[in-house]
Structure 1
């Protein structure tokens, strides 16, 4: 039994296809199939039921796959121990970021990080929160940036910053003459929201204590773009709420429509999250330090009230 064989087993279990598993493992399909078969022969059991399409994992195979994940993680930890002992910060590091954070936060820290840590090959993927959690648990992401708290087993959350909600209210809106906003002023029926699946949408609904499913009287919007929400607001179709960092690059004309909340301002907690195994923790810590330092100056709000993205 070898670590390589266990990695191949995990690949087949994930992709349910030997050809695709081989492609993702950067080996030929005959090589991968032979190594998996050798392991099955050595153990005298069948890990995969090849008679089904897609391939399925047998009952005993499920137990072996679970144990293989532990063994491969522990093998990876050995390299981590050596890297930490040498003070080495480098190698591949896959980072996931949710869509409502990626466009504003990434430009703020990326250049600083890659300049400070040139030996790190940072691989960045935009994914929703549900996929981030799944991929962290499966080992496909080393860390992620998401709105928290998530309260997920096996996931560690390290807050990076607290980002206030800001109202975008055109002058002809019923709240257009207000200097500041209070949560009680909001009516979810005239707030333009992101499409289902975005945690910022869930945070707004939680803020307004509104149901998760809403239906408009005249239209239903499915958009993942804050820019679209702003443009629709300007057309008189309602107001919207924006994360604070999304307001920094707005044109002066649009900034005139921004309304800030009375303190404590509703805000979302943004955290660096990673698996409790803490693999590549030295890179995770370096990333956290860089992001915290560059964001600290951009967000000066102190008195905030955290709104959970999941209504917890």
Structure 2
């Protein structure tokens, strides 16, 4: 059984005439009749009842033709997918992003990416790094945006940008008039950080050894925005990436303070499976990120 034979029986079923069906299929009528006869013998059933001036479908033939139409439609869909594959920026992209990046980068990144790839809608998954990596490796996601470095067999990465961390304190805090503080001073304060499992939490602890030694498991929040509001209430202070401290997030109850050099920070990049068939997607995202106009972000050297 071949797709060609299925096209023949569909044509005959639609035309109800071997002559017209043969013209439509660009084949001689005897050859068309022979091909259909061969298929009926292979299936051990009669698809068409051949009468003097009329061709009709048998009850079983109706089911076979209906299924043949579905198969042909699926085959056409495969051709469409292959055609889209020639344009790597056409078609859905399943994009994962960590929760400490998504809310602050995507509002600027998505419009820029849409201009570069208008035929590539994004299905976005916001999650923890561990979960995003698992979904990437299983094929549920195509590309993920996470903090680097990432060492995982079968995955490739590309750095996008570096961003510094800054301290955030409530109005009335003894530090509120300081321009710069040493990260070692954080260890003396009640510092609110995301729950364990958030890579950002570990990045802050790694960057601020004094804070790591005084870290209290009780001072945790579910998200950076929750933590921001707890700081505004006077519960403690926190450390946030600069992308979460742009003017749109200004709060008159909060004061942002720079951290002294060497300034702690993080590197954000992309990860994808080795052998990903749409490498131009990686370039498109990289180009869009380079066009971001977010204060404090520095394009990664590599």
When normalised by structure 2's length, the TM-score is: 0.64
Separation in structure 1 between the aligned mates of residue 117 and residue 298 of structure 2, nearest angstrom: 30
1:146-295 correspondence to structure 2 within 5 Å: 146-187=146-187, 190-209=190-209, 214-215=215-216, 220-248=218-246, 249-251=248-250, 253-254=252-253, 257-294=255-292
Separation in structure 1 between the aligned mates of residue 188 and residue 95 of structure 2, nearest angstrom: 33
Residue equivalent to 1:64: none
1:66-105 correspondence to structure 2 within 5 Å: 86-105=86-105
Residue aligned with 1:173, SS: coil
Residue equivalent to 2:121: 121
Aligned partners of 1:163 and 1:299 also within 8 Å: no
What is the Cα deviation at residue 174 of structure 1?
4.5
Check 1:120–1:212 CA distance in 2 against 1; reply closer, same or farther (3 A cut).
Answer: farther
What is the Cα deviation at residue 176 of structure 1?
3.4
What is the Cα deviation at residue 213 of structure 1?
10
What is the Cα deviation at residue 110 of structure 1?
0.8
Q: For structure 2, list consecutive stretches of 5 or more residues without a partner in the other structure.
A: 1-77
Separation in structure 2 between the aligned mates of residue 188 and residue 148 of structure 1, nearest angstrom: 29
Residue aligned with 1:166, SS: strand
Residue aligned with 2:264, SS: strand
What is the Cα deviation at residue 302 of structure 1?
5.8
What is the Cα deviation at residue 144 of structure 1?
0.4
Moved over 6 A (4+): none
Separation in structure 2 between the aligned mates of residue 238 and residue 215 of structure 1, nearest angstrom: 12
Residue equivalent to 2:130: 130
RMSD (CA atoms) = 2.9
Note the alpha carbon deviations across 1:51-80, whole angstroms, 9 max, x for none.
Answer: xxxxxxxxxxxxxxxxxxxxxxxxx9xx88
What is the Cα deviation at residue 222 of structure 1?
4.6
Check 1:300–1:191 CA distance in 2 against 1; reply closer, same or farther (3 A cut).
Answer: closer
What is the Cα deviation at residue 88 of structure 1?
4.6
What is the Cα deviation at residue 115 of structure 1?
3.2
What is the Cα deviation at residue 240 of structure 1?
0.3
Residue aligned with 1:273, SS: strand
Check 1:303–1:184 CA distance in 2 against 1; reply closer, same or farther (3 A cut).
Answer: farther
Q: For structure 1, list consecutive stretches of 5 or more residues without a partner in the other structure.
A: 1-75, 305-312
What is the Cα deviation at residue 253 of structure 1?
1.7
Aligned partners of 2:189 and 2:237 also within 8 Å: no
Aligned partners of 1:173 and 1:238 also within 8 Å: no
What is the Cα deviation at residue 279 of structure 1?
2.5
Aligned partners of 1:192 and 1:238 also within 8 Å: yes
Residue equivalent to 1:39: none
Separation in structure 2 between the aligned mates of residue 187 and residue 130 of structure 1, nearest angstrom: 28
Aligned partners of 2:192 and 2:237 also within 8 Å: yes
Check 1:303–1:131 CA distance in 2 against 1; reply closer, same or farther (3 A cut).
Answer: closer
Residue equivalent to 2:294: 298
What is the Cα deviation at residue 237 of structure 1?
2.2
Separation in structure 2 between the aligned mates of residue 189 and residue 258 of structure 1, nearest angstrom: 15
What is the Cα deviation at residue 225 of structure 1?
2.3
When normalised by structure 1's length, the TM-score is: 0.62
Check 1:225–1:236 CA distance in 2 against 1; reply closer, same or farther (3 A cut).
Answer: same
| Max Rg structure | 2
Check 1:214–1:232 CA distance in 2 against 1; reply closer, same or farther (3 A cut).
Answer: same
